[in-house]
Amino acid sequence: MKRIIIFTLSLLVAVGLSTRIWYVNTHVDPQFTPPKTEIYQMGEWVELDGDFQFSADESTKGYAVKLENIEFMSSKDYAARYGLELSAFYSLDDTLPEFVADLTLNFRNTGNDEGYIQFVYYCIYSEKDLRFYPLADVNALLHPEMSDKLGFKIYPGTESGPNHFCLISAVEATGAVTGNSKNFPKYLQISMTPTRKVIEIPELNIS
């Protein structure tokens, strides 16, 4: 009797696991599957055409992005360039980012009354997982019109730019930048799904 109970329980567990594996493999939300990636060049207008960073509510049809320039520097140099207090760059553990990326971006909207740019999910990355993320406090100082989630609209039929944005290296997550330049070229991600659209960044000048 004991053997029958053990066999029955084992069979139920096996069936349960098989069912779960089948369900996961056949019911994964397409938003979370690896997207197709399109690579564009700096200086080229990239039509978002409905592709978004986090939510389809971004409604990006008619929106386009162009990376005009990118420079890498220290927090001190970035703060001096834009007249900011260095304290805005300190993290919760009182450390400064190893590098700051100064992005010069243009945006345009050919006639979309609903959409917006969700900048908080923009990031620079490499195939070796070296990443830069937006620094909310600094970008809010540079662009007071942005929401607390770094979202903003472009009026239909207008172009906005050049605009400067701040991304910082995430050393605690991906390791130091110095000495890792061999991992590049890097990419600026401007949409995540359904198509991941990225702009290739020329070879970096990082010592």
pLDDT band at 34, cuts 50/70/90?
low
pTM for the predicted model, two decimal places: 0.76
Quote the pLDDT of residue 14. 46
pLDDT of the residue at 79: 95
Q: What pLDDT is stored for residue 15 in this prediction?
A: 43
Three-state DSSP string of the chain: CHHHHHHHHHHHHHHHHHHHHHHHHHHCCHHHCCCEEEEEECCCCEECCCCECCCHHHCCCCEEEEEEEEEEECHHHHHHHHCCCHHHHCCCCCCCCCCEEEEEEEEEECCCCCCCEEHHHCEEECCCCCEEEECHHHHHHHCCCCCCCCEECCCCCEEEEEEEEEEEECHHHHCCCCCCHHHCCEEEEEECECEEEEEEECCCCCC
> With 60 as the cut, is the pLDDT of residue 205 above it?
no
Mean pLDDT of 32-59: 88
- Res 80: pLDDT: 96
**Is the predicted pLDDT of residue 2 greater than 70, yes or no?**
no
Average pLDDT over residues 8-16: 47
CA-CA-CA-CA dihedral for 147, 66, 73, 179, to nearest 10: 120
Mean pLDDT for the stretch of residues 110-129? 86
